[in-house]
Structure 1
């Protein structure tokens, strides 16, 4: 690949997801601000009623929690699948852990301003055995 060429869409999304996992593992909102679109939605209904946050509400929560890395937790993240709906729209199913929870994240992605970003994170979690 020439220096002036953008990475192929699949490679660019894999790179974005790697940064996403890194940001979560280190509770690093500087990284997470790069991977999430400013208008992104965070949502789950795992514990009952629908729970949603915008990024302005989500990032302070991440900033306050001890990172999995600081607690010596191993990384368990993996990309389950990536699908493209077109040249600027994709969907990724990924898994990761932040003890005591094991997450399945359904991420919608858009390519805007020349880069891929997460536009929504809808997730389910289960408690891991002790």
Structure 2
């Protein structure tokens, strides 16, 4: 299901996610993540589970990739629109020295596409650049 009226707002939501991952501007956080969202992924050989409020706190306390002039990499790898209210988007995004492949579960809540679950995988680790 990829009708224009459903796909365009979803792509805008994905773009908001990419922007948040680069600038850490948490004033936009509630336009990206649902308040009940959870993040899951393997990091340092352990399953990491983060409630969205903890992820928001992490973003606030971490210098943004933008502030470090880190390269920006973002691409949409797959979009699966299940219905006008549910979709799965697979993306690749670089956040500072880590490159992730994320599965983002979206639901349309109050006419806005929001991430309700994020499953992340660290695909590549770049060497930090000295400035």
Question: Which has the larger displacement, 47-56 or 19-28?
Answer: 47-56
- C-alpha separation between the residues in 2 aligned to 1:95 and 1:51? 19
SS at match of 1:121: strand
Task: State TM-score, norm by structure 1.
Answer: 0.89
Alignment of 1:48-127 (within 5 A): 48-125=45-122, 126-127=124-125
Deviations 1:67-126 (A, max 9, x none): 111111121111111111112110000011112111101000001111111000100013
Q: How many residues align?
A: 124
For 1:23, what is the secondary structure of its paired residue? helix
More strand by share: 2
Q: Secondary structure at the residue paired with 1:71?
A: coil
- After TM superposition, which residue ranges in structure 1, 4 or more long, deviate above 3 angstroms? none
Rounded Cα–Cα distance in structure 1 between residues aligned with 2:30 and 2:74: 19
Structure 1 unaligned segments of length 5 or more: list them.
1-6
Listed as ranges, the gaps of 5+ residues in structure 2 are none
Which residue of the partner structure matches residue 18 of structure 1?
Answer: 15
Structure 1 distance, partners of 2:93, 2:118, is 13
Q: Distance in 2 between matches of 1:75 and 1:127?
A: 14
TM (normalized to structure 2)?
A: 0.88
Taking only aligned residues, the RMSD between alpha carbons, in angstroms, comes to 1.4
* CA positional deviation for 1:32: 2.2
Q: Distance in 2 between matches of 1:89 and 1:30?
A: 24
CA distance in 2, matches of 1:98, 1:55: 17
2:114 is aligned with 1:128: no
> Given that residues 27 and 62 in structure 1 are in contact (C-alpha distance below 8 angstroms), is that contact kept between their aligned partners in structure 2?
yes
